[in-house]
Chains A and B, each alone.
Chain A
């Protein structure tokens, strides 16, 4: 089983902690001049997304997590699983609702997503930073209002609800920043 010593700790390293795969966010070396050295580490649990702090006695080893990020194309949802495909090998992966998490509201068929695999199965899905989605429902557009002030909610084809300017109409395609969930603009034709 691969393992890492505390001296190999750095941001991005994937390790197993309490049975869950985790990613190191920040590693701080702490040592009194005449005393025991420690690594104080900020860690993200890749299953829950929670960030915790943990201290290791320096020199300890921890098990490596077999975690890797791959770019896969989103295909479809069969009601239970979300299916993704490697566009060069055509190999498919099925992600559970837990793995898809909040990304579900941005998933559009054929978009490329970053899928985190743990021991070969999807653990988390990160949508593209920007997605183009069509408005399926919103109050009628207010012509001539381009101020962007105020705004109104709009439901998109994936079910996501975002705040859009008053002039947006049903059927328009919008560019959305998935990291903030904010409207960026109308999609360029």
Chain B
């Protein structure tokens, strides 16, 4: 056998030490707050129904095997963590590998490390404050945070692109993207709805975000995912995103606890997956049962640790902070 030229890690030992240091600081942060570290399965019978996410699929053979039953690698530990919350765990956090099929690039690795945590009695605004404390704490003397900004999704679109994302039609978004920002997307149709907002977000807004920590909240109801809706006019999702130096770092919700509403959203997701030719997955009935039993009022957030490490080490590519990225795994 020829020896492989690329057996060596792509991250320096210095960066790997920084990774260990950041993990240790996160655990210290939560220990002080008495938030419990938990460990939930990566391999599940059910998968996320989110049409924007794709789960790796595998199967189990051996004692107890169910014929033709697929197993999915989790895209986040959200569902089993909510089962713990419903069972009375109190506030919990987890640091784990998650897996997303189809996502690979300088800012994406198909398997990556997520820090996910849930705080009982918090709403999304309380949790945003805690995210700020955690990031500031963990990056102290590594990368000081020079500014913290808060924006609503709508104000940010109005400020940067002079368009209201809640009222603009896909055709209007297309016109503004093309005429003012010279952005077009091959294959995107006017039926794609929110994808036009995503195009504006990724191609126009994100490149113009200033350095520092930025919280964006009050997303359109169509992008609520697993967040509660706030019934103002128009209704907004109690969801926030965290950006650090213009890079998406975390996503959080005031968690939806309404089981029938959750089931409706899963069903709507599955219909969208069918329409777009996505994998028909099984929705998580265990989660729905847990919500039915009662999820405590809580907010949760998932933060990409590889991205945090990338920013903390001043790198532009995830491959520089992961010992063995997907290409050489």
| A residues lining the B interface (CB < 8 Å) | 7, 28-38, 40, 54-60, 62
- Beta-carbon contact of A35 and B186 below 8 Å: no
Indicate if the CB atoms of B248 and A55 lie closer than 8 Å. no
B11 interfacial contact with A, CB 8 Å:
no
Chain B residues with CB under 8 Å of A31's CB are 52, 103, 108, 202
Residues of B72-86 at the interface with A, using a CB-CB cut-off of 8 Å, are none
Contact (Cβ within 8 A) B50 A34: yes
Contact B192 A30 (CB under 8 A): no
Instruction: List which B184-236 residues lie within 8 A (CB) of chain A.
Output: 184-188, 192, 194-195, 197-199, 201-203, 223, 225
B121 on the A face (CB < 8 A): no
The answer to whether A54 and B251 have CB atoms under 8 Å apart is no
CB pair A30–B202 under 8 Å, yes or no, is yes
What is the bound-complex CA distance between A35 and B201, given in angstroms? 10
Complex contact A55–B223 (CB within 8 A): no
Prevailing SS type, chain B contact patch: mixed
> Which of A32, A34, A57 has the most B CB atoms < 10 Å from its CB?
A34
Say yes or no: A56 contacts B187, CB within 8 Å: yes
How many whole Å from A6's CB to the nearest CB in chain B?
Answer: 8
**B101 CB → nearest A CB, Å:** 10
Residue contact B102 to A33, C-beta cutoff 8 Å: no
- Total cross-chain contacts (CB, 8 A): 80
The CA-CA distance from A30 to B186 in the complex, in Å, is: 14
B105 at the interface (CB under 8 A from A): yes
Question: Which B residues are in CB contact (< 8 Å) with A38?
Answer: 185, 198-199, 202-203
A32-B202, A37-B102, A37-B103 known; A62+B195 contact, CB < 8 A: no
| Given A31-B103, A57-B187, 14 new contacts (CB under 8 A) | A29-B104, A30-B202, A32-B52, A32-B201, A32-B202, A32-B248, A34-B223, A36-B188, A36-B195, A37-B103, A38-B198, A38-B203, A57-B192, A57-B195
- Residue B183 is within 8 A (CB to CB) of chain A in the complex: yes
Q: Cβ of B199: which chain A residues have Cβ within 8 Å of it? A: 36, 38, 55
Measured CB to CB, the closest approach of chain A to B103, in angstroms, equals: 6
B179 on the A face (CB < 8 A): no
Closest 8 interchain pairs by CB? A29-B105, A60-B187, A36-B195, A35-B198, A57-B187, A36-B198, A56-B186, A55-B185
Complex CA distance for A3 and B50, rounded to whole angstroms: 28
Instruction: Indicate whether B106 reaches chain A with its CB closer than 8 angstroms.
Output: yes
Q: How far apart sit A55 and B199, CA to CA, in the bound complex (Å)?
A: 9
Are the C-beta atoms of B185 and A33 separated by less than 8 Å?
Answer: no
Please determine whether A28 and B187 come into contact, CB atoms closer than 8 angstroms: no
In the complex, the answer to whether B105 meets A55 with C-beta atoms within 8 Å is no
Return chain B residues, CB-CB under 8 Å to A55.
183-186, 199, 203
Q: What's the Cα separation between A32 and B203 when bound, in Å?
A: 11
- Expressed in whole angstroms, the Cα–Cα distance for A98 and B105 within the complex equals 37
Q: How far is the CB of A56 from chain B (nearest CB, A)?
A: 5
Residues in B whose Cβ lies below 8 Å from that of A54: 184, 186
A29, A35, A58, most chain B CB atoms within 10 A: A35
For B219, the closest partner residue in chain A by CB is A34
Decide: B52 and A34 in contact? CB cutoff 8 A: yes
Nearest CB of B to A40, in Å? 7
Q: How far is the CB of B54 from chain A (nearest CB, A)?
A: 9
B192 contacts across to A, CB distance below 8 A: 36, 57
**A177 CB, nearest partner CB in chain B, Å:** 30
Cα distance A55–B197 when bound, in Å? Answer: 14
Of B105, B201, B203, B248, most buried by chain A (CB within 10 Å of CB) is: B105
Give, as a whole number of angstroms, the nearest-CB distance from A122 to chain B. 28
- Complex contact B187–A40 (CB within 8 A): no
Taking CB atoms, residues of chain B closer than 8 Å to A58 are: 102
